[in-house]
Chains A and B, each alone.
Chain A
Amino acid sequence: MPDRPLIETVDLVKTYRVGSSTVKALDHFSIDIEEGEMVAIMGPSGSGKTSLLNLIGALDRPDSGTVRVKNVEIDRLGEEQRARFRKHNIGFIFQFFNLIPSLTAIENVLVPIMFEKEKPTRKAADLLERVGLGDRFDHLPGMLSGGERQRVAIARALINDPLIILADEPTGNIDSETAREIVSLFKELNDEGKTLVLATHDRLVAGRAKVMVKIRDGRMVRGKAHSRDGMMSLSPKEGGGREK
């Protein structure tokens, strides 16, 4: 069997029912993402970026089509199996940080492993130090700036050593200076071998990605590779006529 890409979606269709009408968020969307890539998904608000990340991250299931991550067809997994898959493979970063407001920075980082027998508090502390929050361990999210909250969220996303990091508009709510730092952090993680998929309409963020994909109305408008080593693994696969 030939090596499959780390992430492979085929003909994804995702619709939402709102009252009696339906909204098509993804319209036969197909993309391959190789291990170690850093991909920016760009598109206007409502184009389907979040829907795509939710499917890749096993948070949601498509109406039709396939999502294969690490050779697992995650669209076939049940709710609880997808939760376990997320725990070990995916680190999520959200636009609104999604920290737990009652927990301190370090507790937020420890949340994903709170039911494990081994709780490497040291590792959580190291991660916070790494994202530049060595002196903010016991701060509640409410006492942190947007950029600091996002860095806590990044540390939390890293605590389980996921192979894949999915960031949904990670700089949407922070100033451009902090955004620059966060993008550098993403770049660093990518250099260490993590696969990153970033949904964004921030050119600064997209510019640092190896690969840029444009999405509109749930369809890929443009797939563009601009990496130095000429990695052209990204293949926009229009319309769904794809052999298996």
Chain B
Amino acid sequence: MSDRRPSFNSATYALSHLRHDLFRSTTIVITLGLTIAFILLTSSLLFGLVNEISGTDEKASILEGRIPGSLSMFEEFRLTGNELSEDSKSALVNYLLVTSTIVFAVALFIMFNTMSIAVQERRSEIGVLRSVGFSSKEVMKIFLTEGAVIGTISFLGALFLGTPFIVNLAAYLIDRGESGIFFVQPVIPLQLVVIIGALTITLTVSTTYLAIRKNLGVDPVEMLRPSG
């Protein structure tokens, strides 16, 4: 029977650890997940706007009714003609990039701090791994896998829990009453999903690398000494 258990590798190691340190892993996953959901949401709406708004004053005022303050925001984008001007499109994309970068940076900073503290507490674990003969690369691999697993869980969570939220918000924004026209139909291009996913994993792995880097060069004997 024990022959048939799933093989033990750095991914199962990471999952076991995340389960064991549930509070910390949940903190990181929720922070990251909300961030990714926010990015998915803003980008899907903005892509939707680019796709659908034909730029009439009527639609703009209905939008203002739904989202107070949006009129002034869209005025900046000079929604005047029938089409969004190229300037307006790039303004939207820039807006998206800037807000996403800021929230992502904040989330990664929180992750970095949480991981750094966790690594301090896991120094003796690193010592154990070194004592059983792991190279520093192998120890690194264990921790980076954990970063990748955190990134993947956060991303998938945001995608599968966040998408229904986006769809519901869209339903609210759709004006069926007076004009019967779609106002904002959120658009989530597959490309965007892939890019955000890849970016999330790259950044969580890099953040983990930064958090652990200092601790790998340390003498295993130091790490194994009880209570410093």
Chain A positions within 8 Å of B, measured between CB atoms, are 54, 57, 59-60, 79-80, 83-88, 90, 92, 94-96, 98-104, 106-107, 110-112, 114-115, 119, 121-122, 124-125, 137, 140, 156, 160
Look across to chain B and name the residue whose beta carbon is closest to the beta carbon of A95.
B226
A30 CB to nearest chain B CB (Å): 21
Hey, which chain B residues are within 8 Å of A121, CB to CB?
Answer: 2-3, 5, 7-8
Hey, which chain B residues are within 8 Å of A160, CB to CB?
Answer: 133
Tell me the bound Cα distance from A80 to B133 in angstroms: 9
Pairs across A and B, CB under 8 Å, 15 listed? A79-B136, A83-B134, A87-B133, A87-B134, A88-B133, A98-B128, A98-B131, A99-B128, A100-B125, A101-B125, A102-B16, A102-B21, A111-B132, A114-B10, A119-B7
Q: Which of B50-58, B197-205, B217-225 contacts A (4 or more CB under 8 A)?
A: B217-225
Hey, which chain B residues are within 8 Å of A112, CB to CB?
Answer: 132-133
B145 CB to nearest chain A CB (Å): 11
Q: Does A114 contact B8, Cβ atoms closer than 8 Å?
A: yes
Look across to chain B and name the residue whose beta carbon is closest to the beta carbon of A96.
B226
**Contacting residues of chain B (130-187) with chain A, CB-CB under 8 angstroms:** 130-136, 138, 141
Q: Given A106-B5, A114-B13, A121-B8, 10 other A-B contacts at CB below 8 A?
A: A57-B131, A79-B136, A83-B130, A88-B133, A98-B224, A102-B19, A102-B20, A107-B12, A112-B132, A121-B3
* Residue with the highest number of chain A CB atoms closer than 10 Å, among B3, B10, B133, B136: B133
Given A94-B224, A107-B16, verify A137-B133 contact (CB < 8 Å): no
Interface residue? B31 (CB, 8 A): no
A92 CB to nearest chain B CB (Å): 5
Interface residue? B71 (CB, 8 A): no
Hey, which chain B residues are within 8 Å of A140, CB to CB?
Answer: 20
Chain B positions within 8 Å of A, measured between CB atoms, are 2-3, 5, 7-10, 12-13, 16-17, 19-21, 124-125, 127-136, 138, 141, 219-221, 224, 226
Q: Does A54 contact B17, Cβ atoms closer than 8 Å?
A: no
Q: Does B219 contact A60, Cβ atoms closer than 8 Å?
A: yes
Tell me the bound Cα distance from A92 to B224 in angstroms: 12
A47 CB to nearest chain B CB (Å): 16
Given A102-B16, A121-B3, verify A110-B132 contact (CB < 8 Å): no
Tell me the bound Cα distance from A160 to B133 in angstroms: 10
Tell me the bound Cα distance from A84 to B138 in angstroms: 11
Look across to chain B and name the residue whose beta carbon is closest to the beta carbon of A156.
B132
Q: Does B2 contact A122, Cβ atoms closer than 8 Å?
A: yes
Q: Does A103 contact B16, Cβ atoms closer than 8 Å?
A: yes
Given A83-B133, A86-B133, verify A115-B138 contact (CB < 8 Å): yes
A33 CB to nearest chain B CB (Å): 20
Given A87-B133, A96-B226, A112-B132, verify A102-B17 contact (CB < 8 Å): yes
A165 CB to nearest chain B CB (Å): 13
Tell me the bound Cα distance from A218 to B122 in angstroms: 31
* Residue with the highest number of chain B CB atoms closer than 10 Å, among A95, A102, A140: A102
Q: Does A114 contact B9, Cβ atoms closer than 8 Å?
A: yes
